[in-house]
Amino acid sequence: MIVICESCRKQFEMTQEMLKEKYLGAMYTESYYICPCCGKKYIVAIMNSKCRKLRKELMIDEYKKELDRINGK
């Protein structure tokens, strides 16, 4: 995904590898990325353990659907 930094106005390709997670305490994590040009931090999401569990379940369902599609089911 192409994004434009609000701080330095530079355009860059946002990749999954750029997405970082930081433990905030009390079972909360912050997902964020940092502009490679100026270093501005952009928070994408703050999740608790229930959100992370639901996200994991959704990812597993998507993987199963993709495997079924590949295997012709």
| DSSP states along 55-67 | HHHHHHHHHHHHH
How distant is the alpha carbon of residue 73 from its chain centre? 29
Domain housing 56 = 2-70
Residue 66 has pLDDT above 80, yes or no: yes
The residue written with tokens 């390709």 in the block is 13
Among residues 40, 19, 38, which one has the least CA distance to residue 30?
A: 19
* Percent of the chain's residues with pLDDT above 90: 81
Torsion of CA 5, 33, 43, 51, to 10 degrees: 140
State how many domains the chain has.
Answer: 1
14-47 per-position pLDDT tens digit: 998 999 999 999 899 999 999 999 999 999 999 9
3-class secondary-structure state, position 9: coil
Average pLDDT value for residue range 43-53? 92
